[in-house]
């Protein structure tokens, strides 16, 4: 372990040396793989770094994981460069590669934190968790004999995931069971699709949630979803890119190509002069989709998803609705390192067809400002682009703004979730679904019915259920929901309890479809379809350079 951690430090230092010497993309691989040991010993920077690492290892009073120290040191150096260059240990690098392949190894369960507990919200059809009998409302209390109290959601996931064919033991608290129920589950390949959900939101209007990043099968999944919805009468589309963190550049281009004709620019990549060759990517589709298009974005829409939104907006191919995107336009090249680790290093920037740089400024704030504050509405966070910064004009004369990120054509804030109320509704709904409340047998859920199409009448919340919920809250003061708070959020509580029951009975996809009618951004996107249709009819889709005024 000690020699490997020192080698990783040395490898990283050699990468930086190679990067500074010119022709870096080729040299990086050569320097890390083939550098003679004598040259390593003679390099003063390597010697200083290695000696410092050895000094800490020999003299620090408390034992520390050397790989953890190496990772922290490398990350510290990389964060001086920019927020997106990063070092991945073996596990993280493997997980990143798996997700980009549209799969990972685990048990096929969706979990989330509720009232500081890790709760099962759903299982994937046909996957090990479903076959073993796990279900909505289970609370994970142990993984492989280790109590999960105090664990984050990520920590639970890291313990549940693992190598294919290996076994994991999970203990859950279940409604109606006096002691934890234990499952021994063999891990298997679990699909991780980009297209999370698709359905008809209104007659003629399809809705596709492309929210799980851009992996190797994204464009194929999108086209399959569109084919399915066309058979159901779709003649216009709302494409949801909210919460989409990005992914593979090639897939962002292929998704854009579905809607843009041949020879139209999709995105350009520009590196440092003399270091990385700049490149312009154009659509190669001779028969693009012509249906009216509205794209939803928010503060978590980043990178590859911003490329798609920017290309569609710049070419007047559709309307963008929602909130300013994240503004991640730095291009990373992935470099595998010895020991199964990896490095992502920023090598270029993305530009939309009109010449707008997607990347927003990161020079004046902390990592908190950059990653969390802005997208969570903190007014002290890195500001959005100023209205006239690098203004450009689309083929139809619409004025767009540069300065980083994508500003929607129609700006509308998303609804704010009351997490305390949401968690209280979950606790109550799991009792209803588990059949633990006398007199409410019609709300009991025996098992999930996958593929169910909502009719709009499922699990209506009666006044009797509301009264039972009031009594439940009085008996559970620890949930922190007062009578006054409930009264002010009564309609939300009705809808949330109903959504939880739909999740238990029909799965997470059905819940998402049910909640869409109360989503102000999605409803605005539906209302914008006629405007998008007019824009599509009048747009002049042809290749233009930046048209700055």
Residue numbers annotated as active site: 303, 314, 328
Q: What is d(CA 495, CA 429) in angstroms, rounded to the nearest whole number?
A: 11
Burial class of residue 295 in the structure, from the number of CB atoms within 10 Å of its CB (0-12 exposed, 13-18 middle, 19+ buried): buried
Distance in angstroms (rounded) separating the CA atoms of residues 315 and 296 = 17
Spatial separation of the C-alpha atoms in residues 357 and 352, rounded to whole Å:
7
Integer Cα distance of 251 and 420 in angstroms: 38
Contacts of 502 (CB under 8 A, 6+ apart): 454, 458, 459, 510, 511, 514
Compute the distance between CA of residue 385 and CA of residue 373 in angstroms, rounded to an integer.
15
Angle (deg, nearest 10), helices 249-257 and 218-231: 30
Cα dist from 155 to 40, 149, 357, whole Å = 37, 11, 36
- The three-class DSSP label of residue 279 is strand
Whole-angstrom CA distances from 476 to 119, 120, 134, 472, 487 are 18, 21, 26, 6, 17
Looking at residue 416, what DSSP letter applies? P
CA–CA distance, 529 with 478 (Å, rounded to integer): 45
Structure tokens at 250: 């090639």
CA–CA gap between residue 155 and residue 64 (Å, rounded): 20
Determine whether 89 is exposed, middle or buried from the number of CB atoms within 10 Å of its CB (0-12, 13-18, 19+): middle
Neighbours of 533 (CB within 10 A): 18
- Give the 3-state secondary structure percentages of the chain, helix then strand then coil, rounded to 5: 40, 20, 40
Q: Which residues contact 327 (CB under 8 A, 6 or more apart)?
A: 302, 306, 358, 359, 360, 404, 405
Alpha carbon 3 to its chain centroid, in Å, reads 36
Q: Hey, what are 34's tokens?
A: 């083939």
């Amino acid at each position: 372990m000690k020699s490997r951690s020192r080698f990783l430090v040395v490898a990283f230092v050699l990468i930086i040396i190679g990067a500074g010497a010119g022709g870096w993309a080729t040299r990086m691989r050569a320097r890390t793989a083939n550098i003679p040991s004598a040259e390593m010993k003679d390099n003063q920077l390597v010697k200083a770094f290695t000696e410092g690492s050895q000094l800490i290892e020999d003299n620090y009073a408390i034992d520390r994981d050397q790989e953890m120290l190496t990772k922290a040191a490398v990350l510290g150096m990389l964060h001086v460069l920019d927020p997106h260059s990063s070092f991945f240990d073996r596990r993280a690098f493997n997980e990143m590669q798996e997700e980009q392949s549209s799969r990972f190894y685990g048990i096929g369960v969706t979990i989330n934190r509720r009232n500081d507990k890790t709760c099962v919200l759903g299982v994937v059809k046909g996957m090990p968790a479903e076959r073993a009998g796990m279900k909505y409302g289970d609370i994970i209390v142990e993984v492989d004999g280790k109590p999960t109290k105090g664990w984050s959601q990520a920590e639970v996931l890291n313990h549940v995931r693992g190598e294919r064919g290996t076994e994991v033991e999970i203990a859950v608290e279940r409604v109606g069971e006096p002691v934890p129920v234990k499952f021994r589950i063999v891990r298997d390949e679990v699909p991780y699709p980009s297209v999370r959900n698709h359905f008809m939101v209104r007659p003629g209007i399809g809705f596709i949630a492309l929210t799980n990043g851009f992996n190797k099968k994204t464009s194929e999944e999108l086209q399959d979803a569109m084919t399915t919805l066309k058979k159901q009468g779709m003649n216009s589309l709302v494409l949801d890119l909210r919460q989409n963190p990005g992914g593979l550049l090639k897939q962002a281009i292929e998704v854009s190509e579905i809607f843009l004709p041949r020879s139209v620019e999709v995105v350009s990549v520009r590196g440092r002069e003399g270091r990385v060759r700049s490149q312009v990517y154009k659509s190669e589709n001779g028969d693009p989709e012509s249906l009216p298009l509205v794209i939803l974005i928010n503060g978590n829409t980043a990178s590859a998803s911003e490329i798609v939104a920017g290309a569609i907006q710049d070419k007047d191919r559709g309307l963008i609705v929602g909130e300013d995107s994240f503004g991640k336009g730095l291009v990373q090249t992935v470099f595998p390192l010895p020991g199964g680790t990896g490095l992502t290093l920023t090598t270029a920037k993305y530009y939309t067809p009109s010449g707008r740089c997607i990347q927003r400024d990161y020079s004046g704030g902390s990592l908190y400002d950059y990653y969390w504050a802005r997208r969570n509405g903190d007014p002290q966070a890195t500001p959005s682009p100023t209205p006239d910064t690098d203004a450009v004009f689309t083929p139809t004369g619409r004025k767009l703004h540069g300065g980083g990120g994508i500003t929607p054509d129609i700006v509308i804030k998303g609804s704010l979730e009351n997490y305390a109320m949401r968690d209280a509704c979950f606790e109550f709904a799991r009792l209803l679904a588990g059949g633990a409340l006398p007199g409410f047998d019609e709300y009991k859920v025996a098992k999930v019915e996958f593929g169910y199409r909502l009719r709009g009448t499922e699990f209506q919340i009666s006044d009797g259920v509301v009264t039972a919920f009031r009594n439940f809250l009085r008996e559970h003061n620890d949930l922190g929901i007062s009578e006054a708070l409930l009264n002010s959020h009564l309609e939300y509580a009705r809808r949330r309890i109903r959504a939880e029951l739909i999740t238990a009975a029909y799965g997470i996809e059905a819940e998402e479809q049910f909640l869409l009618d109360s989503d102000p951004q999605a409803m605005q996107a539906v209302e914008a379809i006629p405007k998008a249709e007019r824009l599509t009819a009048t747009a002049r889709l042809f290749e233009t350079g930046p048209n700055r005024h």
